A and B are shown apart, each in its own frame.
Chain A
């Protein structure tokens, strides 16, 4: 299994509070991603990173920010959590070797905003 650890695995928080999810990798992969998974929507990209301090927005980035201060860690922050951000969040990592790219996922963080 790829070395990806998400923390926490489960969290319940109140509306309006800040929340930070952490993704840690031991594979030294360049690319890291945050997706959210909701019924009927599949996996939707929130933000991704293509290097230390290099990030870009995905299709559902509103209300989220990210930071990557070192290769192994990619943090997702909800500045002021809302009930619509209740979801399962997945971190993924990828690397390209030659013409081949593979991407691997963490086990997910289930976030409930009450």
Chain B
């Protein structure tokens, strides 16, 4: 099946630092979604991307849809303690199985 490689697996940073994480795939996706999951909760949608090359921001978060449609990245600027959590990328193809394929997640820890 499709595979999404998400990196890094974990990050430990100081408050105020910028963070970058990415997902790559051998398959082409037509939609990329980025989620954050807090402990004991379901993933919450942060940003949705629909066009190759698209750059979208949501507050301190910025995500880009790769030109090749096989990758995407998420940046968090000026991190704060509440950014702690697990971040997942997810890709969706418009044909065939219409179900999200998820990366394995990036666990972010922020030191105040």
Contacts and interface: CB of A to CB of B under 8 A. Distances in A.
Contact of A105 (B31, B43, B105): B43
A64 interface: no
A105 B42 contact: yes
A90 B99 contact: no
Contacts of B104: 40-42
A40 to B, nearest CB: 7
A101 B98 CA distance: 10
B42 A102 contact: no
B99 A107 contact: no
B100 A42 contact: no
B33 A103 contact: yes
A103 B90 contact: yes
A100 B88 contact: no
A31 interface: yes
Contacts of B59: none
- Size bin of chain B's contact surface: 20 to 34
Contacts of A40: 104
B11 interface: no
Interface string B70-112: 0000000000000000001010100001111111110000000
Contacts of B43: 43, 90, 105
A33 B41 contact: no
Interface stretch (B13-21, B44-52, B61-69): B44-52
A56 B97 CA distance: 8
Interface string A48-70: 10100000101100000000000
A103 B100 contact: yes
Given A43-B43, A43-B90, 4 more contacts: A42-B6, A42-B103, A43-B88, A100-B50
Interface of A: 31, 33, 35, 40-45, 48, 50, 56, 58-59, 90, 92, 94, 99-108
